[in-house]
Structure 1
Amino acid sequence: AAVSLGITYEAIQPHLRIPEAKGRSIIVRKGISGLLTPGGIQSQAFVLNDITNQLIFEKELSDRILLSDVFGVAVFDPQGSLVIANRDVHDFCRANAISLDGRDRFMEGLTPFIMEKGNEGALFDEWLQRTPITVSLTKPDKQYLKVDISTLPVGEKQYSLFILTNITKLKEVEILKGQIVSIVSHELKTPMTNIMGFSEILVEELEGEMKHFAGIIQEESVRLTKFVNTFLDINRIEEGRQQIKMVPVLLSDLLEEAALTLSPLAEKKGIKLLVQKAVLPVSVSADRDLTKQCIINLAENAMKYSPPNREVTLQIEETADTVRVNIIDQGYGIRNEDLNNIFEKFFRSSSEETEDIKGSGLGLSFVKEAVEAQGGRIAVTSTYGLRSTFSLVFPKAA
């Protein structure tokens, strides 16, 4: 009705004649008499239209929240006050002593239950970048929730929307699968160690063609042992069993140590390995051994996927609020369509140049899990056929 009233006025406006007295300014009528003019009617019609749209939106939002088949939904207004939440949210907050008295207090209450590291004390905008997050609750029963966070525009205002989905069954299957794989991997570990040891003895004792065959056995057993160990490392991190020792770490030291470890491989491949330190010493809060392993993995990959006589650079870069360890190569690069998948387990980017290069597809997956477990993240840029840059990104130490 309000819209129709406004449209009707627009249609008849050209035909209206409002008399004006010569030499006198028009006096704007106020109050009821002002509202009864054509202009007043149109103005109030548009106000009524805006209010109607707002009410319709709020009704649809309320219905969607209260009748939702997901576990729970909570909406907070731009000031952070709770607008609405369904019964399941109230129940699980009450059981786990999580406050709904404001968005920030709700986030603070969720933080101890978050499985992913790095959300401690984080602001809402940082949670938005890391969504979804996984929450593990013990009351009233053991359950896992996926929390999707987004902003909800209402007119010119931005509301905060939290959608919680119960993923307990999915998570339990995932954990069981990981446990089975872990058991199988452990069973492989002992015989592979024996094969590796015996093949090393054979390489030293045998001559000619037999020595060559023993060398192949040794090389493949080393590769398979590394595969098993990497898989077990990923599994430990995913299940939260990996002990993370966060200490101040001087990154320049890690780069020097990684370069020293990798120098024989660089020499064998004909790669020039460079280290570019920051002007001033830079430290971050991280697990020293885990971070060093991440740098070594990325640098090994850079050399593996680079032709001979190229450079691989280990570089420290500071921004306003982060510190980045960049591993820059002049290798084969990665196709754009593969960039979103390279951190998935067992994924390998395919190209003519790299199809004969051996690899498990686990190295980058390990790096991603390891750096995220420390509250950091991994980033990559690549130009196919020219270069790639992998970056370990850490928040600056306070």
Structure 2
Amino acid sequence: MRRLLLNFLLPALILYTAFYLVIFSPIPYKYLIGALILGFTLVSFYLVLRKIKTLLDRILLNIKGLSSSSNISPIGILELDESLKEIDEYINRFKEENKLYTRLFQSIQEGVIVVNKNKEVLRINPTALKLLNIDQAVNLEGRPLIEVIWNYTLDEMTGKVIETGEALSREVSFDHLNNRIMDIMVSPLFNERGEIRGAIIVFTDVTDKKRLEKIRQDFISNVSHELKTPLTSIKAMVEVLLEGGAEDSKLRKDFLENINQEVDRLSRLVSDLLLLSRLESDREFLNPISTDFVTLITRTVSRFQPRAMKEGITLSLEIKGDIPPLKVDVNYIDQVISNLIDNAIKYTPSGGKIDVIVEDLGKDIRVSVKDTGIGIPKEDLPRIFERFYRGDKSRSLSLGGVGLGLSIVKHIVEAHGGRVGVESEIGKGSTFYFTLPKG
């Protein structure tokens, strides 16, 4: 019965546990592949070591028989020789298994740390070192776990797993790693007698995944809000007109003008959403051709001159140096320049000034749109190119903004291999700029 337990049931239990975790655990399977690999490796090690132990027991019996016998039997010597050869074969196999285990352990894409029951590190793979920002050359074997991970939550999780023998999983934030979020699973490690000998910690960095989830949730929330606001306004005005307000000619005219503005706003929102969706999903949306960039930007600025004059704003274009032809998508770059000038006009009061400056920076061409407008608060600058982000929300809404223009600018410029930026000071104005590579 004991032999059945050791030779079959224990290895089967290890594999079953690994398979169960991968198939039925609520943790995504890709985080548990390391556990499955370790399960197979432990079973392989266990079986080889059991075979070596069996052979050693047989050799000891042969030696005992030979030492107690007055006549040394050739058969006994032959059996002893065969057993020694078999042990040598299994030792070589064990060495190969150890090499394979080391390669597998080092190649696991999740971070893996193996600790003993005293929470001292036995093994740690390169991925774990990288995720924890630890030098690959540092030897951590025998070190207390807390001195390696510097995270009390994970240290307590590991202690609880060793104490109870039950696996735990959760997301843990690492303060000393700039609040990176790790998805962690800690499983108990048993010996052949079913006693806990330590724990295996498998973890992966899900910071970017969590950030993208938040962006998606914010995006859905913002779209819902942006669609609901004009629709609610339109519905209210239509109801007033239906209830008799249409008989008042002035009220009717005002309401119809407002409805028209809200419909235009909805139309812009839908158009911008469709464009942004295309920019984010299609990496080959550009149709770049060699373009006289000075002619392109001159034409775009000229198109805004009548509007700027009407608003009492001086709009100028300055070309610094010889600007070579650039390989760009004319329509998309025209939209980038148009969006920046349009924003500058919206946020610059009458009597203000907008300067569009083109300059050669060597490897790149830089285009700046500098205004003397209201400026942007310092705390808003890092998020100004995010979708739906508006610093002065009340002013943006009154001017018909939907908060997608600058995000579209960023996507188009980056698709051309350039970058965007902004400098601003409250009450003094803003400078939005972008670069385009010459090559």
TM-score, scaled relative to structure 1: 0.49
Q: Flag the structure with more relative contact order, 1 or 2, with Cα contacts below 8 A and sequence separation at least 6.
A: 1
TM-score, scaled relative to structure 2: 0.45
Greater helix content: 2
